[in-house]
A and B are shown apart, each in its own frame.
Chain A
Amino acid sequence: DGGITQSPKYLFRKEGQNVTLSCEQNLNHDAMYWYRQDPGQGLRLIYYSQIVNDFQKGDIAEGYSVSREKKESFPLTVTSAQKNPTAFYLCASSISPGLAGVDTGELFFGEGSRLTVL
C-alpha cells in the first residue's frame, strides 16, 4: 500500500543530543513537509521541499535541519540548538510542487513521531 512511513514512533533524547526522524514515502510525490504539533497550537511548518536537493525553511526552522537527497526520503534532524524539542512531529507529502498541494488541497500525513527530551 502507498503511504508515508515515519520512524521511530516514540523517541527519547537527552538534552544536548541530536536526533534524526525518518520519513519515507512511496506515493511518488514531489513535495514533502515537516510539521510540529503542540497542544493548543495546531500544526506549524518546520521545513518543506518541493523537489530533490532543494528545501526551504518554514515558520519555525531554528534548531532543525533537513536533507532531500532522494525523492522518497526527507529526514529531519532535531539539533541540540532546538530549545524546546519535546513535541509530536508529522511528515507530509503532496502531489504537486505547490507548497500545500493546493490543486487537490490534500496533504498526506504519516503517523507521526513523538519526541520527548529527558
Chain B
Amino acid sequence: QKEVEQDPGPLSVPEGAIVSLNCTYSNSVFQYFMWYRQYSRKGPELLMYTYSSGNKEDGRFTAQVDKSSKYISLFIRDSQPSDSATYLCAMSATTGKLIFGQGTTLQVKP
C-alpha cells in the first residue's frame, strides 16, 4: 500500500462546477499538507499549503485536512477551463521528506 493514495482520474466536469479532489494517507506523522498544480509538460507549482488540521481558503480554492480520517481535500469553486491540469497532493512530517500522491488529471469543459 502506498503512503499517499490519490485517484488518477481523469476527472471531467463542465465549466462552473464545484470540483472535489482527494487524497488519503496512512502515516499519522504527516503534519504539512500541500496541493500542487501541474499544467501539461510543465513543472508543478504550489497551490495551497496547510499545517495540521483545518481549512484554508484562497479565492476559488479551499484545502481541507482531516487528520482523524487521514484525508485531505481540495475544492475548486466555479471551475474554469484554465483549471484543467494535474493536481498533486503532497505531505510531510516534521523531518521534511515530501511524499507525493499520483496526481489527479482534471479537465474543465467550456
Chain A positions within 8 Å of B, measured between CB atoms, are 4, 40-45, 90, 92, 98-102, 104-107, 109-112, 114
Q: B82-110: which residues lie under 8 A (CB-CB) from chain A?
A: 88, 90, 92, 94-98, 100-103
Of the candidates A42, A99, A111, A112, the one whose C-beta lies within 8 Å of that of B101 is: A42
Check B34–A98 contact: CB distance below 8 A: no
With A105-B49, A106-B49 known to touch, is A43 a contact of B88 (CB < 8 Å)? Answer: yes
Chain A-chain B contacts (Cβ-Cβ < 8 Å), number: 60
A-chain residues with CB within 8 Å of residue B60 when the two chains form the complex: none
Instruction: Give 1 or 0 for each of B22-46: 1 = CB within 8 Å of chain A CB.
Output: 0000000000101000000111111
Q: Is B6 an interface residue (CB 8 A)?
A: yes
B-chain residues with CB within 8 Å of residue A106 when the two chains form the complex: 34, 46, 49
Q: B44-101: which residues lie under 8 A (CB-CB) from chain A?
A: 44-46, 49, 51, 88, 90, 92, 94-98, 100-101
B-chain residues with CB within 8 Å of residue A40 when the two chains form the complex: 8, 102
Cα–Cα, bound, A98→B96 (Å): 6
